[in-house]
Structure 1
Amino acid sequence: MAARPPRRPHEPVKFAYWVPNVSGGLVISDIEQRTSWDIDYNRELARIAERSGFDYALTQIRFTAGYGAEFQHESVAFSHALAAATEKLTVIAALLPGPWNPTLAGKQLATISQLTGGRIAINVVSGWFRGEFAAIGEPWLDHDERYRRSEEFIRALRGVWTEDSFTFNGDFYRYRDYSLKPKPLDPLPEIFQGGSSRAARDMAARVSDWYFTNGNTPENVARQVDDIQGKAAELGRYVKIGVNAFAVVRETEAEARAVVDEIVEKANPDAVKAFGHEVKNAGAASPEGEGNWAKSSFEDLVQYNDGFKSNLIGTPRQIADRILDLKDAGVDLVLLGFLHFQEEVEFFGREVIPLVRELEARRRPVHAAA
């Protein structure tokens, strides 16, 4: 395997939060969640996050109800609303190839880029919920075909954003002398993607700016990072890495652990098992039988993206130390979910992020400050 390419270890780790633009919060549990999916709550949350040191907000895309998400706001329109309500926050809109094509996405995002000073990015979601595709009449492709389509989606999107008279002959998308005007502002919207399968990692190495992985230990994250960065380096590329985490920050570790215990104790078992069935089938369909959620327990699945595995559960100092461990493993961004978003995002920004910056500063060589 190629050696991991040079990183920029002295750059501050970035922070993002999951936008609750769907109902039900971020855990499949009947525990109280003082979180709302409506626009007024989310506008105020975005302002709190911006003031608290968060760099990004990630909107979700759902087309059908399921696993507590009875109501869902569309991601691109919602992302624009949050960017319009803030001044610095970059909003990442989740897009699903199939319902979207690169022409529509390219036009929407170029316009939002122009209107918000470039504070829009995208997360290309290749798809895991077969029932959703069936419900809206979209073909359900084989696992690796979904990633092939996503890669073409990204290549076509970049083409319409950067070229005039763009021509592209793919298996899923085709263009002939197409010019999109206006184009997005420079720099172009960043492109994120997720997944853990071989196809997902290879796609990230070839075309994505960022790779999101499910929650995991620093050791397991490091293995994914080495794999992706080794392949990216062979192509002269570097891919930034984001990891999912569900943060439960309390004055003592015992208090934080008690919250997680209550979340799991009050989990909706039928909904968790149904979610697990869908996502594990999606991962098992990959040729190597791996993928997101392949080794997730019932407790892991209560938080949609294995957020408990990242172990950001404890006191502010414990959380800060663990974030630095993730950074050492190659993580550039931590994507966070919370139980009570507004109050906990503010607390995280006040009590945890300054500790992370303090720890980063202690490690920074004197010459790096020049």
Structure 2
Amino acid sequence: MPAAFHYEEIAMSQSTDTFRSAAPIRFAYWVPNVSGGLVISKIEQRTSWDLDYNRTLAQLAERNGFDYALSQIRFTAGYGAEYQHESVAFSHALLAATERLRVIAAVLPGPWHPAVLAKQIATIDHLTGGRIAVNIVSGWFKSEFTAIGEPWLEHDERYRRSEEFIRVLKGIWTRDDFTFLGDFYRFHSYSLKPKPLQRPHPEIFQGGSSRAARDMAARVSDWYFTNGNTVEGIKAQVDDIRAKAAQEGHTVKIGVNAFVIARDSEAEAQAVLAEIIDKADPEAVKAFGREVQQAGKASPEGEGNWAKSTFEDLVQYNDGFKTGLIGTPEQIAARILALKAVGVDLVLIGFLHFHEEVEYFGRRVLPLVREGEARGAAAAAA
């Protein structure tokens, strides 16, 4: 089991520290449109992948201060995910059930052609008042690609394809008579009408921790998602990406994955973490580890997502325990403010019991974050 997090070591003095961004930190949640919850464990998870549960969850999240929801993309079963709803259609359903929440649909270059996705997203953008976004997933699940007859490219080639995919999306959404001659996609005087409502285009997210992923973000993406990590580890990534982006004349915002266990006492939160790990499904976790670590270690520098994840880390799909948002509301708020101080713009959160924990987070944690931000802003102004 991971060592207890020492929140007192990272809690900031709000009277002296300034934040890198004056904008409030944003919050997103993982949409459970895939069965099995967000941990590979036999612990009870009061969550469901069905539409009614997710409509209610989206409305709860909207009322409790969440800005975004991220729908997952899976084509085949594995590691407890027996059933999966398709991400773009499911995102549209959640947008139809809400008024302000923005929903990010995860998509895979390969199964999707950029012209098809560009048209899907443009239509949904008009139907929902400009609240749809996309997350370009370069691919980690080799067995899924081979099961549906899609070629499995080498690590850096997957990111080259994703970069072309993003450049094509931007071109289709912002230009008429769009022409593009790439290694993976070719367009000849193509015009999409109507174009999306959002200007210049719907937001484009991507993930990854490898050199190729970070360099792609620095060139073309609006947002970069990284797996869970320590404050120090995230700071190194933020500094690296922002320096590269500046060289490219580009700006990119940073999101980090986290699994939140907020309880009235630290002991209670740590007990929940211990139970999740104690009840982990060893065979499923190891199988997931073999699948994702070949993807992470396949990067030339061996630093991709999951390259250094332990068994305990892998129990939560995207290293969410590493971020350390486990404890009392005060401890978690301090940790979030520390993340903001090193340049994080958004925290993407998974929960054990989504309905009640989204509400608890909005009622008990988020107000403390906003109070801390206000103190920091006042100190900066002074």
TM superposition score normalised by structure 1? 0.97
Alpha-carbon distance in structure 2 between the residues aligned to 1:33 and 1:367:
42
Alpha-carbon distance in structure 2 between the residues aligned to 1:301 and 1:191:
26
Query: Which residue in 1 is equivalent to 2:294?
Result: 281
Amino acid at match of 2:89: A
Structure 1 residues without counterparts, runs of 5 or longer: 1-5
Q: CA deviation at 1:287?
A: 1.0
SS in 1 for 2:161: helix
Alpha-carbon distance in structure 1 between the residues aligned to 2:310 and 2:345:
26
Q: Does residue 1:317 correspond to 2:330, yes or no?
A: yes
Query: Which residue in 1 is equivalent to 2:111?
Result: 99
1:223-262 to 2 correspondence within 5 Å?
223-262=236-275
1:44-59 to 2 correspondence within 5 Å?
44-59=56-71
Amino acid at match of 1:162: T
Give me the identity figure in percent.
75
Q: CA deviation at 1:8?
A: 5.3
Query: Which residue in 2 is equivalent to 1:67?
Result: 79
Query: Which residue in 1 is equivalent to 2:142?
Result: 130
* The one of 335, 347, 351 aligned to 1:338: 351
Alpha-carbon distance in structure 2 between the residues aligned to 1:253 and 1:111:
46
SS in 1 for 2:69: strand
Alpha-carbon distance in structure 2 between the residues aligned to 1:329 and 1:219:
8
Q: CA deviation at 1:125?
A: 0.1
Q: CA deviation at 1:349?
A: 0.4
Q: CA deviation at 1:286?
A: 1.1
* The one of 19, 24, 36 aligned to 2:36: 24
Alpha-carbon distance in structure 1 between the residues aligned to 2:75 and 2:145:
9
SS in 2 for 1:257: helix
Amino acid at match of 1:312: L
- The Cα offsets for residues 128-148 of structure 1, whole Å up to 9 and x where unpaired, read as 111000100000001000000
Alpha-carbon distance in structure 2 between the residues aligned to 1:24 and 1:121:
25
Select the structure with the greater relative contact order (CA < 8 A; seq sep ≥ 6): 2
* The one of 218, 240, 264 aligned to 1:205: 218
**Alignment length, in residue pairs?**
364
Query: Which residue in 2 is equivalent to 1:3?
Result: none
Q: CA deviation at 1:367?
A: 8.3
1:117-156 to 2 correspondence within 5 Å?
117-156=129-168
* The one of 365, 372, 375 aligned to 1:352: 365
**In 1, are the aligned partners of 2:19 and 2:340 still within 8 Å (CA)?**
no
1:151-190 to 2 correspondence within 5 Å?
151-187=163-199, 188-190=201-203
Alpha-carbon distance in structure 1 between the residues aligned to 2:39 and 2:380:
44
Alpha-carbon distance in structure 1 between the residues aligned to 2:352 and 2:159:
32
SS in 2 for 1:364: helix
Q: Does residue 1:82 correspond to 2:94, yes or no?
A: yes
* The one of 303, 328, 335 aligned to 2:316: 303
Q: CA deviation at 1:368?
A: 5.9
- The Cα offsets for residues 99-125 of structure 1, whole Å up to 9 and x where unpaired, read as 001101000000000000110000000
* The one of 114, 120, 124 aligned to 2:126: 114
Structure 2 residues without counterparts, runs of 5 or longer: 1-17
Q: Does residue 1:215 correspond to 2:189, yes or no?
A: no
Amino acid at match of 1:311: G
- The Cα offsets for residues 208-235 of structure 1, whole Å up to 9 and x where unpaired, read as 0000000001100000011100000011
Alpha-carbon distance in structure 2 between the residues aligned to 1:120 and 1:309:
29
Q: CA deviation at 1:365?
A: 3.2
Q: CA deviation at 1:366?
A: 7.3
SS in 2 for 1:334: strand
Q: CA deviation at 1:173?
A: 0.4
Alpha-carbon distance in structure 1 between the residues aligned to 2:19 and 2:274:
37
Alpha-carbon distance in structure 1 between the residues aligned to 2:175 and 2:331:
48
SS in 1 for 2:84: coil
